Amino acid sequence: MLTAFARAFKTPDLRKKLLFTLGIIVLYRIGAHVPVPGVNYANVETCMKQAGGNSGLFALVNMFSGGALLQITIFALGIMPYITASIILQLLTVVIPRLESLKKEGQSGQAKITQYTRYLTVALAILQGTGLVATARSGALFQSCPVASEIVPSDSIFTTITMVITMTAGTALIMWLGELVTDRGIGNGMSILMFISIAAGFPGALWQIKLTGKLADGWIEFFAVIAVGLAMVALVVFVEQAQRRIPVQYAKRMIGRRSYGGTSTYIPLKVNQAGVIPVIFASSLLYIPALLAQFSGSKAAWATWIATNFTKGNHPVYIVTYFLLIVFFAFFYVAISFNPEEVADNMKKYGGFIPGIRAGRPTAEYLSYVLNRITWPGSLYLGLIALVPTVALVLFNANQNFPFGGTSILIIVGVGLETVKQIESQLQQRNYEGFLR
């Protein structure tokens, strides 16, 4: 693998792509440490040290921003508005006929959907930026910090508008950098920036586990977490690569003097067809009641019950609800992203059929049956992986930013595998050995 990596840098055009990607990554990390105007950075550092890296309710967004959220930098919102906008547009494609027709138009239709995603990203960034400024000004960003309410000293409208515009521009810049990587670099730009954001928190989170450990000055816990992380990476790679291949045979057709078809192929149905989307959906949904109870300041029974059951990641009610939501969203996302009837109609149109299954409706029913069967283990796997940080809270006294958590490890392994495959395909085009021998 190291030899193939060296050969990648010896290839001029591939070396340019790799160096361009690395340059964008450096710019992205620099921007994650530039504070927004109007923020008292000394108070931010004081609260960060006191919090010890535990971001509480904002753990997910802080992870996707590479720790920039709690530091209130120009990249504080990170890639999260774009992810949210992409998911919303993907869901609306199933509901709105106009978007569905654009999706079927090919490259031109996809370009319009991408433009709509950009507009929605900016709108969401303005909304989230305003919420972040209000949260920081009220002191809710760091609840236990005595100077939390002094992070944004000024309450003038001009300061608020400046901060929101700065963070929105930061999100637009991240979106542009990601598109540059996609066009001129290696891999999907947005995925790589997401990968870097999550990986940036690994060293600090691992060292925090060592400092809070009790066995042999924390070194036993430190190496135990690394061993658990390697085992999880192996498990995730195994499941992410697993797929059910449904054979498809195309009948021969004579058009003029030429023969078409007669080939055999397959439909690859992944065990984890939904990817990391169900985990993001479930995490975001569970934040809503906790945030409502926090901002309402109510002492009513409902607010107390939510504060008791949904603000602590190791509470049984939270664990069960989180697990069930992941399973539900796994089936929900697979149902809207894979249409068995459309696949069956396309196969029938081009003379394809599954051996032993009649074309048309029986093929759609068979695909639905197989998809439901393999989605069950995939959803249970997602739920168990996502609960790893909860176990870590108890066993290793870790914070909610446990490095080898469900969402982070799924994204890192998925993006890593995809990027390696793209580099390998580039090498194979030049008759070089790939990464996988």
Please report the domains of the chain, with CATH numbers, ordered by start residue.
Answer: 1-195 (1.10.3370.10), 201-404 (1.10.3370.10)
Question: Amino acid letter at 289?
Answer: P
**What tokens appear for 140 in the block?**
């809710």
Average pLDDT over residues 281-299: 70
Give the confidence band of 173 by pLDDT, cuts at 50, 70, 90: very high
Q: Tell me if residue 73 falls in helix, strand or coil.
A: strand
The predicted-structure confidence for 77-120, as pLDDT tens digits, reads as follows 888 888 888 888 888 887 888 888 888 787 888 888 889 999 99
Spatial distance between the Cα atoms of 266 and 348, rounded to a whole number of angstroms: 15
Q: Please provide the DSSP assignment of 150-207 as one string.
A: GSS----HHHHHHHHHHHHHHHHHHHHHHHHHHHHSSS-HHHHHHHHHHHTTHHHHHH
Q: Tell me if residue 204 falls in helix, strand or coil.
A: helix
The DSSP call for residue 357 is S
Residue 343 pLDDT: 85
Which has the closest alpha carbon to 245: 156, 145, 374?
Answer: 374
Spatial distance between the Cα atoms of 81 and 86, rounded to a whole number of angstroms: 9
In the predicted structure, residue 289 carries a pLDDT above the cut 90: no
CB 232 within 8 A of CB 386: no
Backbone angles phi, psi at 52, to 5 degrees: 65, 25
Please name the residue that has the structure tokens 């934040």: 287
Give the whole-number percent of the chain exceeding pLDDT 90: 9
Q: Exposed, middle or buried by CB within 10 Å (0-12, 13-18, 19+), for 329?
A: buried
Please name the residue that has the structure tokens 């003097």: 257
Residue 424 pLDDT: 80
Give the global pTM.
0.79
Backbone angles phi, psi at 35, to 5 degrees: -70, 155
Quick count: other Cβ atoms within 10 Å of Cβ 424?
17
In the predicted structure, residue 20 carries a pLDDT above the cut 60: yes
The predicted-structure confidence for 214-273, as pLDDT tens digits, reads as follows 777 778 878 887 887 888 888 888 888 888 888 888 777 666 666 665 677 888 888 888
Averaged pLDDT score across all residues of the chain: 80
